[in-house]
Amino acid sequence: MSSINKVVLAYSGGLDTSVIVKWLQEEYNCEVVTYTADLGQGEEVEPARAKAEALGVKEIYIEDVREEFVRDFVYPMFRANTIYEGEYLLGTSIARPLIAKRLIEIANETGADAISHGATGKGNDQIRFELGAYALKPGVQVIAPWREWDLNSRESLLAYCEKHGIEIETKKGKSPYSMDANLLHISYEGDILEDPWAEAEEDMWRWSVSPENAPDKATYIDLTYEKGDITEVDGKAMTPAEVLAHLNEVGGANGIGRLDIVENRYVGMKSRGCYETPGGTIMLKAHRAIESITLDKEAAHLKDSVMPKYAELVYNGYWWSPERKALQALIDETQTYVNGVVRLKLYKGNVIVVGRKSEDTLFDESIATFEDDAGAYDQKDADGFIKLNALRLRIAAGKGRDLS
């Protein structure tokens, strides 16, 4: 313990990380540097400064990283149409590599020899933070208090605060759920959600109206794509963070983006969680729509085949890995001609594609038409095509093999 002189802590200003500041100072007799990231969680991050100062922290980092988050992490992930276990849009997972990167950069700037986080020993986030940290600085030391201390309940944490004079705000109407939010999503775990049969309460949701209470009139939006990324909404140029914030607003107003799933954590257990990802739900649907007319068939199918592996890498914390980097290069190469406009209709929880157009379209009406194609496609060619593709089946059946 005496070898730790300075630690950079991922700091929210809440109960857990406030206790961790004092605990690190007491147990490791070290300086603590705090890092607080504004990822678009919808709450003020600046109050964390006063809380850290009250705990004797002298080096305090508070940053607005919303643009970097969407531009360098969310957008690249959505180019792959990434979805984990068929449903989860990876809102928490994709924020962790950015935080890990900044923890290491700040450790280098301040001369710290360790980083710390408030993730528990049961979850995925400890893995995501630490895999990222070790990839970016192999010799860094990681302190995970939840794996070391015996403060294993909210009551014990509050008792620790009282003993050490740590002031903690007690908010009226505080949610009973464990929540994590950023510009891509907000997640809910714990309390009644630990019973997978119990329906989430309506007043739990923060960002969206229920589909039943969404407007009776549909909302239409046009999304403009350049190389797989949205650059305009309804003809208005927007930055990546502005795009996602706007889509969250319009999607939430139309009851879009609610999800209730049981997922397989990397550590092995199953976990039930609820998520609100209105903007991401719209982005996924729209991106597949623009790819449908601009992406070559085999390139599209190749992307689809590697996507589950890519999603697993993001979920498990391997963003900073050679295999994710290699897959990203392949994915980004496919996006060269993914340009154009998608028109969507948003209605009571549904995202409906109603139009798509592109100067780089591969859709050829003269070939696809059911009317006279003026010789663009010779239907007689299909006879040989079918027979060649059936050859192996005909041989097997002819040899007496049962294919039924």
Residues with catalytic roles: 16, 96, 125, 178
State the DSSP string of 148-183: T-S--SHHHHHHHHHHHT------TT--SSEEEE-S
Residue type, 48: A
Asked if 146 contacts 119 with a C-beta cutoff of 8 angstroms, the reply is yes
Distance CA 255, CA 245 (A): 15
Candidates 346, 237, 338; CA nearest to 288 is: 338
Distance CA 346, CA 220 (A): 6
In order of 32, 33, 113, 367, the CA distances from 1 in angstroms are 14, 17, 12, 72
Which residues lie below 8 Å from residue 54, measured CB to CB, with a gap of 6+? 167
* Helical segments of 165-295, H only: 240-253, 278-294
**Strand, helix or coil for residue 73:** helix
Candidates 92, 39, 31, 18; CA nearest to 259 is: 92
Tell me 216's DSSP state: S
Structure tokens at 158: 């509050």
Distance CA 164, CA 228 (A): 52
Asked if 100 contacts 320 with a C-beta cutoff of 8 angstroms, the reply is yes
Roughly what angle, to the nearest 10 degrees, separates helices 154-164 and 15-28? Answer: 60
Structure tokens at 86: 């068929």
Candidates 107, 63, 120, 133; CA nearest to 319 is: 133
**Strand, helix or coil for residue 224:** strand
Residue where the block lists tokens 């300075």:
6
- The residues that bridge with 35 in the sheet, in sequence order, are 10, 61
Please state whether 363 falls in left (phi above 0), alpha (psi between -120 and 50) or beta.
beta
Distance CA 25, CA 7 (A): 9
Candidates 4, 3, 70; CA nearest to 38 is: 70
